[in-house]
Amino acid sequence: MSEEIPEESPRKLSLSLNDKYNILKSKGFFRYVGRSVLWIILVYALIVFLVFLVGKYLVDFDGLFKSVITRLSDRFVVLLFFASESFMGLVPVDLFVIWTQKFENPLPYLALLGILSYAGGVISYGIGLWISMWPRVKAYTERRLKNYIGFVRKWGGAFIIIAALFPFTPFSIVVIAVTMFKYPFRLFLIYALARLVRFVIQGVFFFELLDVGSWIG
């Protein structure tokens, strides 16, 4: 049976950064983050290697990217992204970051994606609350999301921040898991701000990576 997470006590709020670091370390938080980041690096390295090989000998990826993203309706992409970020994160965020490359100045569009993702997280929080009103649906959801529920119960807001920053799992799913034990909405809104940062960082990284013609040669 799920339990409600109380508001953070004054004692917890007064803990120093070093104390918080030691608590998270003792609970295995940094081991989890380290393994996950290593896995992400390996996956991206494999993708870059495959893109290099295919782009070098088979497909003009630079031309293909530009052809696809210029044909998509901007309104359709924005609506699809918002729907995905609100309902289970069904479409990988990376594809939308690629879409922003069609613009001469992509940073405002990356910021727009970040804002929409944050707003989608708020909607996901509401969906989680709605699910909590239906015992059978809630029990089923808790079984499916038990790992993420356990992570948030164990690490608190730190896991929300990490889920917002890194592609460990669709952010919407983590948000729904958060609501299963009534994590305070006020704290969620604060920690979820990390979602805004994710898009700018990933976008800047992708701009060089996806300029395929410059590094395939």
pTM: 0.76
Question: Using an 8 Å Cβ cutoff, are 110 and 78 in contact?
Answer: no
pLDDT recorded at residue 6: 43
Mean pLDDT of the chain: 79
pLDDT higher than 50, residue 176: yes
Phi, psi angle pair for 13, to nearest 5°: -65, -25
**67-93 pLDDT, tens per residue?**
666 777 889 999 999 999 998 888 888
Percent of the chain with pLDDT over 90: 23
Q: How confident is the model at residue 4 (pLDDT cuts 50, 70, 90)?
A: very low
| CA-angle at 182, arms to 178 and 188, nearest 5° | 55
Q: Which of 8-12, 22-26, 44-48, 186-190 has the highest mean pLDDT?
A: 186-190
Tell me the mean pLDDT in the region 174-192: 89
Q: Which of 1-15, 73-87, 192-206 shows the lowest mean pLDDT across its residues?
A: 1-15
- Is 27 strand, coil or helix? coil
> Any alpha helices (H) in 27-156, and if so which ranges?
29-57, 61-71, 74-86, 93-99, 107-132, 135-144, 146-155
Residues 217, 203: Cα–Cα separation, whole Å:
22
> What letter represents residue 60's amino acid?
D
pLDDT value at residue 197: 86
The secondary structure element, H or E, covering residue 24 is helix 17-26
In angstroms, the Cα distances linking 108 to 89, 113, 138, 196 are 22, 9, 38, 12
Domain boundaries, the chain: 72-206
Give 110-133 pLDDT, tens digit per residue.
Answer: 889 999 999 999 999 999 999 999
Instruction: Tell me if residue 210 falls in helix, strand or coil.
Output: coil
Helix (H) or strand (E) holding 194: helix 194-209
Number of neighbouring beta carbons within 10 Å of residue 174: 24
- pLDDT, tens digit (0-9, with 9 covering 90-100), for 23-63: 888 888 888 888 877 887 787 778 767 767 776 666 665 66
Query: How many degrees, rounded to 5, is the angle at CA 199 between CA 197 and CA 202?
Result: 105
